[in-house]
Structure 1
Amino acid sequence: MSEQVETADVIVVGAGPGGSATAAYLAQHGLDVLLLEKATFPRDKICGDGLTPRAVRELINLGVPTRPEDGWHRTRGLRIVGGGVRMELDWPGNETFPPFGLVRTRMDLDETLARHAERRGARLLQGMNVSGPILDHRDHIVGVTAKVMGPNGRATGATREFRARVVVAADGNSSRLSLAMDRPKRDDRPMGVAVRSYFSTPRHDDGYLESWLELWTQDEAGARHLMPGYGWIFPLGDGTANVGLGILDTFKDFGNFDSREVMRRWVAEMPEDWGFSEETRLAPIRGAALPMCFNRQPLYDRGLLLVGDAGGMVNPFNGEGIAEAMEAGRYGAEIIASALARATPGETEAVLRSYPKVMKDALGGYFMLGKQFATLIGHPEVMRLAVRYGLPRKALMRLLIKIMANLPQERGGRLDDRVINALSRMTPAA
């Protein structure tokens, strides 16, 4: 049974970091915003929980306090392990990015950002499982239908209708709304898979994220193969650490191995001082897909704008998606606010259609560089040479951390900043 139709200027579907950032910025622009979330907070999300300085910048832009006493664990940099090398690299702070990262569980982070959007004026409705678009005579989206979910996560049988001038899909990798609007995934873009769990550990307050660059799988003949990806240990400062791994699908045997078993073997070989074991594991090993390089396009069409995983905005260099999702929310909100202030529908549509170019100018060239990187390290011999000869060179690794976390100073800066920016501009975005 459908209830009364509710209206707004903009509907945002999905209250992850991208959706909540979009809603908060839209509300700050004075728009009436509905933020629809299918679950009820607090709710979990498969993620590494690590925030690079690029993500921290977006939290600062959004005005979210990140005090340690509120549960934010601050990190100094990245500790890299592989090829017999163990190296600590501090985050390269500059005029654009702060010199620190953060770790916060998605259970806490997502609710924090959704509540922040509420305080800015967005109307957050939980338990709204959006089931499809409402289209007008032009096939433009003008609203959504939603199944009302109970606190137990089951449908109550009730449905709701919501109408708005613009709809933002921030509903994750599967993005039911995008699929309903004819936005299938592109098969020419890399994908990743990540698995993770939580462990209690005496090193929970370590100041460095830890990245292991040697992950191995074993074939039926017993031969070991180096995989394109990395394992992570992200201390949370609360007695626990997020432990997981991410693997790219550019590996020729992708899909022919059990990523959870790879993780179990890797964790079993961890140094004893981390204290990882089946007895200290606090949660099941769970997995999720990582959609990369704008793998669902167009990012705007017929009234629907894509943000975050719904638009395939995961960084192919390191698997990060939170910074990119929040960045897209910032750009998208500015464009929507400008568009809705125009005098005619034609002018509004012209401004909305600028969103794909704005996002490709911001991240497209960098993403395509990452696509080439992902393809390259999909060859085991290339990966093996990179680990053997690249890791021991600290100056090279300092450059790589800046490239892989996308941390060059945006204007001016050092020579390496200017080179990274030039490469991103020169690489065609597609």
Structure 2
Amino acid sequence: MSERMHDVVVAGGGPAGLAVALGCAQAGMDVVICEKRPGVLDKACGEGLMPGAVRALAALGVDPPGHAINGITYRQGTLAVHAPFRCGTGRGVRRTELHDALSEAVRRAGVPVSHTPITEVSQHDDHVRAGGLRARYLVAADGLHSPIRDLVGLGSQGTTSTPRWGLRRHFTLPPWEGGVEVTWARRSEAYVTPVAPDTVGVAILSSVRGGFTQQLTAFPDLAARLADAQPASRVRGAGPLRQTTTGRVAGRVLLAGDAAGYVDALTGEGLALSLSTAAELVRCLRAGRPADYERAWVRTSRRSRWLTESLLWARNRPVLGRQIVPAAVRAPWLFAAAVHQLAR
């Protein structure tokens, strides 16, 4: 009896990997997921889904529970500016709830999950071997510090930019904003996202290493608001955030999600980008044209990467960084236009 040939093996059971697997299954492909960590996966994440991400999930038949978000507010000291979403409503969704919803959709689609880790990859003319499986294609959705990215030679030697890290914790506290609130400090930003009627998620991005409580001291008003709130989760961290790659395709191996390259979480568009590029990856595999994915990824991510790189460039220059929120207050139309570009 000949060895079974799958169409696709997806390495990684996070949102990007699950979205790819679900899309492949819905396109009629034989797909299997390899995820060495059993159970519900969590990650340090701002947890705000832009309207575009909500629509992308709906296209997959996924509707995770959460809290509606209507826009983004920037704060710095006494200054504040709000931009509502013009293209629908976003949603604050706990990462565990998102994983549950995607996992359930994958289960209903009949996609099997193997907990065998992928430590070696070998490519052949018509297939790839990984995790003891044989498939036409391997999709590496194994996260920010993807081992498979390095195994297939797509990892970069690093970057000269200032490294940044992220921390996240939830608090039992009714949301006080209808959207995501971003407070800017000298070297960090705090993101407050409503994820339930009685819960907010607080994520801090910083170029300075330190624990959550230490980082929170840079935001005295927020710290005072959280002082009597009960923590609803433990602290999770991630970083360094920027990850560069030399490409997204190496023969029959394709990179998805954070493994495909990551700039920063500054704009909060990471999940939306993962979902949109996952859809492009599925389209390319369905057409039997994996090499087209590189161009599709660049095209689909161009707007997000440009906006994030531009904002991060200004952020990393002290004089300019202090003027980001004042500039948004002086030109709310420009801030609203930028938010619209991120949200759609």
| TM-score, scaled relative to structure 1 | 0.72
Helix, strand or coil at the partner of 2:275:
helix
In 2, the alpha carbon distance for the partners of 1:83 and 1:183 equals 43
Give a deviation string over 1:372-396, Cα, whole Å, max 9, x none. 4322321110111233343243223
Work out whether 1:143 is the aligned partner of 2:137: no
Question: Relative contact order (C-alpha < 8 Å, sep 6+): which is higher?
Answer: 2
Does the 8 Å CA contact 2:141/2:258 hold for their aligned counterparts?
yes
Structure 2 partner of 1:166 = 137
Structure 1 partner of 2:36 = 38
Work out whether 1:333 is the aligned partner of 2:282: yes
The 5-angstrom pairing of residues 245-324 of structure 1 reads: 245-247=204-206, 254=207, 257-258=209-210, 260-266=212-218, 268-270=220-222, 272=224, 274=225, 276-277=226-227, 280-289=230-239, 291-292=241-242, 295-313=244-262, 317-324=266-273
Does the 8 Å CA contact 1:314/1:324 hold for their aligned counterparts?
no
Does the 8 Å CA contact 2:183/2:219 hold for their aligned counterparts?
no
Call closer, same or farther: CA 1:278–1:169 in 2, change over 3 Å: farther
Match of 1:27 among 7, 25, 28: 25
Structure 2 partner of 1:343 = none
Helix, strand or coil at the partner of 2:246:
coil
How much is the aligned-residue C-alpha RMSD, in angstroms?
2.7
Does the 8 Å CA contact 2:85/2:343 hold for their aligned counterparts?
no
Structure 2 partner of 1:178 = 149
In 2, the alpha carbon distance for the partners of 1:266 and 1:284 equals 20
Does the 8 Å CA contact 2:67/2:91 hold for their aligned counterparts?
yes
Structure 2 partner of 1:401 = 339
Give a deviation string over 1:178-205, Cα, whole Å, max 9, x none. 111112135348664211111111x247
Instruction: Give the gaps of 5 or more residues in structure 1.
Output: 94-98, 146-160, 216-225, 248-253, 340-350, 408-430
How far does residue 240 in structure 1 lie from its aligned partner after superposition? 1.8
The 5-angstrom pairing of residues 87-102 of structure 1 reads: 87-93=81-87, 99-102=88-91
Structure 2 partner of 1:194 = 166
Does the 8 Å CA contact 2:172/2:229 hold for their aligned counterparts?
no
Structure 1 partner of 2:67 = 73
Work out whether 1:207 is the aligned partner of 2:144: no
In 2, the alpha carbon distance for the partners of 1:372 and 1:86 equals 21
Q: Aligned AA for 2:171?
A: F
Structure 1 partner of 2:14 = 16
How far does residue 266 in structure 1 lie from its aligned partner after superposition? 3.7
How many positions carry a matched residue from both structures?
Answer: 342
Work out whether 1:112 is the aligned partner of 2:112: no
Q: Aligned AA for 1:396?
A: L
Call closer, same or farther: CA 1:186–1:91 in 2, change over 3 Å: farther
Q: Aligned AA for 1:184?
A: G
In 2, the alpha carbon distance for the partners of 1:185 and 1:287 equals 22
Q: Which ranges of 4 or more aligned residues in structure 1 deviate by more than 6 Å?
A: none
Does the 8 Å CA contact 1:290/1:314 hold for their aligned counterparts?
no
The 5-angstrom pairing of residues 407-418 of structure 1 reads: 407=344
Instruction: Give the gaps of 5 or more residues in structure 2.
Output: none
How far does residue 290 in structure 1 lie from its aligned partner after superposition? 6.1
Does the 8 Å CA contact 1:16/1:114 hold for their aligned counterparts?
no
How far does residue 144 in structure 1 lie from its aligned partner after superposition? 1.1
In 2, the alpha carbon distance for the partners of 1:365 and 1:111 equals 30
Call closer, same or farther: CA 1:316–1:364 in 2, change over 3 Å: farther
Helix, strand or coil at the partner of 1:391:
helix
Identity of aligned residues (%): 22
Structure 2 partner of 1:153 = none
Structure 2 partner of 1:85 = 79
Call closer, same or farther: CA 1:311–1:192 in 2, change over 3 Å: farther
